[in-house]
Chains A and B, each alone.
Chain A
Amino acid sequence: MNMFMSDLLLRANNVSVKIDQTEILRDINLTLSRNEIVTVIGPNGAGKTTLVRTLLGLINPSSGAIHRLESLQIGYMPQKLSFDTTIPLTVGRFLSLVEKNKTVVSKALAEINITHLSDAPIQAISGGELQRVLLTRALLKTPDLLVLDEPVQGVDISGQTELYELIADIKDHYHCGILMISHDLHLVMAKTDKVVCLNQHICCQGHPENISNHPAYRELFGDHHTPSIAIYTHHHDHSHDLSGSVVNTTTHPTANND
């Protein structure tokens, strides 16, 4: 876990995915490294989740190859997880499926601030709480790579900011790489090192402030909704803020808007 080594965790080479003859992803080239936050953005149906599932090894690419670091430990927080009500399962027991040691589990619960949920049936907690439980589970594996599929989905704005700060802290603490899917560029950009703009193929990728000026990005997000000029300006403000500050400071991006 040398901070100064930019260790490569995972590399996708010309990966394409076809499902029932339909091409979902085309010629994806992507690298993920330790201590790096990569955010995949793209419109609905761009293949974001398929990309993540392919990188995780849940879907086999129809061509191309994915190279993973040997014995790469992945923590995965899926977009949603539905729990069958037939299984009596508390949050604590759910977490103990990955970690036998009860002290470790309760420490992890405390770290994510959800100690009070430990004895709650997992089917009974709210969407936002479940996100945190899933994050806790992903962290119990002390991952080299943390994969988050739309982590803020269904979480309100203040909760989103909080969750993103938590994710940034996690990166600093675990020195892991983080791959995140987002449909919401607005908040993600403040903390991310690399944005990958996806629409079946990678339209562009790079540092957030470069991306938001990239013609491919503007085409993808600018043309879709008319009021996006306003949103775009917003993003522009953010990259401005960012250019003056370190990526993982805990300033609220919204607080710096004019």
Chain B
Amino acid sequence: MIELLLLPIVAGLAIVTVAGPLGSFIIWRRMAYFGDALAHSALLGVALGLWLTINLAVAATVGCVLIGAMLTLLQRQHRLETDSLLGILSHTCLSLGLIAVSLVDNIHVDLMAFLFGDILSVTDEEVIGILACSLVIVVVLMLLWRPLLSITVDEELAKVEGLPVEYLRLTLMLLIALIIALSMKVVGVLLITSLLIIPAAAARNLAKSPETMAIFASVIGFIGLLLGLTASYYVDIPAGPAVVACCAVMFALSLLSHRSS
């Protein structure tokens, strides 16, 4: 079992480790829909990547970044609120992505793998890529942790106090785009946000500080990953959904522990 699951576990561990703090930011900044929109745009990026035959992870990241930039531009107008804009962008991207994938007919495309992930088929190179990118995310997060936390608590206060708010917001957006592109392989575009949000939400019920919440989220994500992969191995169920389901169980448990304490 262990030989088969070693690569998936390493890849998954790297991803849930960075998903903990980034998912916490998504929760704090109420960006859940934003995560969804980025994930869907990653699918569009993948479709374009298939078309142009470039590296799919790179294409997915580019797709995320483009949609993130587009959202930032659309937010300058004040007639529609961000949640409506995200609803528009998110599902437009999903639709365009599905259309584009279906149009790429010269190669066989396993759409299910993109939508729900295929962690068990992760390759050596992919694991190395995931590890490298995760390391970059961790380093950037550690360097910018305090300013990022400051703009999360209150952007105006942070701006008055001299922080480069726009730049920090953009950095956070790029980091989230990167983790989404990375974790597409693990849980797929439809489940990525849950991998970011559910462990962090479970951690919220247990944590007393932003830092402990981020760390607990990573730990909960890791437990969910191990349980999910094991279940997938023994019961023969899809791995990505199994991981998400296990995280959801832990979220439910965290609610109980929160109530009892």
Contact = CB atoms under 8 A, between A and B. Distances in A.
In this complex, the member of B154, B159, B207, B209 whose beta carbon has the largest number of chain A beta carbons within 10 angstroms is: B154
A76 interface: yes
Interface string A102-141: 0000000000000000000000000000000000010001
A76 B212 contact: no
A215 interface: no
A88 B27 contact: no
Contacts, number: 56
Which range holds the interface residue count of chain A? 20 to 34
In this complex, the member of A58, A84, A87, A90 whose beta carbon has the largest number of chain B beta carbons within 10 angstroms is: A87
B30 interface: yes
Interface in B136-178: 146, 149-150, 152-154, 156-157, 159-162
B157 A78 contact: yes
A23 to B, nearest CB: 17
B160 A58 contact: yes
B28 interface: yes
A55 to B, nearest CB: 10
Interface string B104-117: 00000000000000
B19 to A, nearest CB: 16
A87 B159 contact: no
B225 to A, nearest CB: 23
Contact of A97 (B27, B149, B213): B149
A83 B149 CA distance: 13
Contact of A87 (B157, B161, B162, B210): B210
Given A58-B160, A98-B161, A141-B161, A88 B209 contact: yes
B208 interface: yes
A149 to B, nearest CB: 11
A201 to B, nearest CB: 25
A86 B153 contact: no
Contact of A86 (B28, B154, B157, B159): B28
A81 B154 contact: yes
Given A94-B153, A97-B146, A88 B160 contact: no
B40 interface: no
A57 B165 CA distance: 13
B31 to A, nearest CB: 11
A83 B213 contact: no
B28 A84 contact: yes
B154 A87 contact: no
Contacts of A56: 160
A93 B161 contact: no
In this complex, the member of B27, B146, B157, B210 whose beta carbon has the largest number of chain A beta carbons within 10 angstroms is: B157
B185 interface: no
Contact of B209 (A20, A74, A93): A93
Contacts of A87: 28, 152-153, 210, 213
In this complex, the member of B78, B161, B204, B207 whose beta carbon has the largest number of chain A beta carbons within 10 angstroms is: B161
A247 interface: no
A76 B153 contact: no
Given A94-B153, A97-B149, A84 B213 contact: no
Interface in A169-207: none
Given A86-B28, A88-B204, A93-B209, A81 B157 contact: yes
Given A88-B207, A88-B210, A88-B213, A83 B157 contact: no
Interface string B23-54: 00001101000000000000000000000000
Contact of B153 (A57, A58, A73, A83): A83
B128 to A, nearest CB: 34
A56 B212 CA distance: 34
Contacts of A216: none
Given A86-B27, A86-B28, A78 B210 contact: no
Contacts of A30: none
B82 to A, nearest CB: 15
In this complex, the member of B27, B30, B209 whose beta carbon has the largest number of chain A beta carbons within 10 angstroms is: B209
A57 B160 contact: yes
Can you list the 10 inter-chain pairs with the closest CB atoms, starting with the nearest? A76-B160, A87-B28, A88-B207, A97-B150, A86-B27, A56-B160, A86-B28, A74-B160, A88-B208, A88-B213
23 contacts: A58-B156, A58-B160, A76-B156, A76-B157, A76-B160, A78-B154, A81-B154, A81-B157, A84-B30, A86-B27, A86-B28, A86-B30, A87-B28, A87-B152, A87-B210, A87-B213, A88-B208, A90-B209, A93-B209, A97-B149, A97-B150, A100-B146, A147-B160
Given A73-B162, A89-B153, A93-B210, 8 more contacts: A58-B160, A76-B156, A83-B153, A87-B28, A87-B153, A88-B204, A88-B213, A97-B149
